[in-house]
A = this chain, B = another copy of it.
Amino acid sequence: MSIHIEKPSLLLHAGRAKKNIHRMAEKARRQGIRFRPHFKTHQSAVIGDWFREAGVYSITVSSVDMAQYFARHGWNDITIAFPVNLRQIAEINELARTIHLGILVESIETVNFLCTQMTASAEVWIEIDEGSHRSGVAWEQPEAVLMLIQALQSSSLLRVRGILAHAGRIYRAGSPDEIRRIYSETVDRMNSVRQFLAGQGLSVEVSIGDTPGCTLSTDLGLVDEIRPGNFVFYDAMQLNLGVCELQDIAAVVACPVVARYPERNEVVVYGGAVHLSKDTVNMNGQNWYSLVVTVSEDQEADALPDWLTLVNGGYAARLTQEHGVVTLPGPDFKRLKVGDLLYLIPAHVCLTVSALGEYITTDGHPIRTMNNQ
C-alpha cells in the first residue's frame, strides 16, 4: 500500500517489531527469567498489545504518567523504574490501589516518606548503582541496601521485592565483547549484593537488563527479571554498537527533502531537533543525528521498503529546530529530488518516538503514543 507522507513521519514495520518482541520474550522464557519489557521506548497501547500476544503481562515504565496510561489500557503489573517522585504521591497511591505496582527507592529520605505516606500496598525495588553513577545505592555498599530494607519493614503496605539496576555505562562499550563483559559484570555485582543480604536472612530478586546486554549475551545469568526496551525497534546507536543488524531496525523517520546543494553533497530535509531529538551516535569520531537508508528509485512508493539499505556516508550532520542537514555520497545525492522522501534511522529511537507521538505502519495505519491521545 502506498502512504501519502507530508511531514516528518515515523514509519513502523510491524512485522519486524513483532519479530524483535518474540525473539526477546522467547529468550527470557527459555532461561526461566521473567520478561518485564520497558515500555518507555514505544509508549503505545497498540504496540503493548503485541507484547501481550507474546505472553508478556509485566511491564516497566519510566514515569507515573506512563504507568497511568498503561494501567488505563489494561496492564496491571507495572514497575515504575525511576526513583519515586515524592510530589506525585497521590497518583502513586491511586495506582497502588488499582494495580500491582512496583516502585523504586534508593534513599532513606524517600523510604521514610513512603512509610508514612503510602495508603495502599506496593512492591519496592531498591535501586542499585552498578557503576553507571546515575542513580541508586552503590553496589559496593550492600549495608546501605540492608538499612533501607530494614527501614521498609516498618511499613505493612510496602513489600521489598528485590534489587534493580540499569547498566547505562554499557552504551559506552567499544565492542560486542565489551557489552557482554559489562552485562556479566553487572550480573555479578547484583549477585554480590544479593549474597550479602542472604547472609542477613533476606531473600531478594534481581532485576537488570538493557537492550545491548540482553540482545548479545547468550546466557542471561543468575537474574530473576530483565527489562530491555529499545530492542522493539532498535536504532542507529544499537546498530553502531553491533547490537543489531540492519534488518532488525523496525522504525525509520521519513523526511521530505526541501533543498539540495550539489556543491556540498548535502540536502536539507523537513525533520529537525523537534522530530528526531538532538541525541547523537558517535561514528568515526563524529556525532551524527541519524543514518540514511534506502535512497531508492521507487521513492514515490512512500512505503518503508522491506529491505533497508544503509547509505554509506549518509548521515544527518546538523539539526536545528525544524531543519535537518543531511550529507549524502554522490550517486545517492544525484538520485534525490526536492519533494522526495529521505529515510533516516534515528540515533536514539526512544526520544524520536516521544517527540513525534505517532507511527504510521507500512500498511498505512496510524498508531498513536501516550503523548498524542
Contact = CB atoms under 8 A, between A and B. Distances in A.
A337 B109 contact: yes
Interface stretch (A22-30, A51-59, A236-244, A317-325): A317-325
Given A109-B338, A322-B62, A351-B278, A268 B85 contact: no
Contact of A85 (B63, B84, B270): B270
Interface string A267-297: 0101001100111000000000000000000
Given A85-B6, A109-B337, A323 B134 contact: yes
A320 B268 CA distance: 28
A134 B258 CA distance: 11
Contacts of A40: 321-322
Contacts of A5: 87
B88 A259 contact: no
A373 to B, nearest CB: 11
Interface string A202-216: 000000000000000
A86 B339 contact: yes
A72 interface: no
A34 to B, nearest CB: 23
Interface string A67-94: 0000000000000001111111001000
Please tell me how many copies of the chain the complex holds: 2
A87 B339 contact: yes
Contacts of A258: 82-86, 110, 135
A85 B340 CA distance: 10
B268 A134 contact: yes
A260 interface: yes
Contacts of A168: 320
A365 interface: no
A78 to B, nearest CB: 15
Nearest to A280: B278
Contacts of A134: 268, 318, 320, 323, 325
Interface in A111-151: 113, 133-135
A6 B88 contact: yes
Interface string A168-211: 10000000000000000000000000000000000000000000
A65 interface: yes
A20 interface: no
Nearest to A136: B259
Given A133-B264, A134-B318, A270-B82, A7 B338 contact: no
A168 B321 CA distance: 12
B277 A83 contact: no
Given A339-B113, A351-B278, A87 B321 contact: no
Interface in A330-345: 337-339
Contacts of A4: 87
A237 B274 CA distance: 18
A65 B7 contact: yes
Contact of A323 (B82, B91, B337, B355): B82
A354 interface: yes
Given A337-B109, A354-B274, A322 B63 contact: yes
Given A82-B323, A109-B337, 13 more contacts: A5-B87, A63-B322, A82-B270, A83-B259, A110-B258, A133-B261, A134-B323, A168-B320, A273-B277, A273-B351, A274-B355, A277-B278, A321-B351
Closest 7 CB pairs of A and B: A86-B339, A83-B258, A278-B278, A6-B87, A109-B338, A135-B268, A274-B354
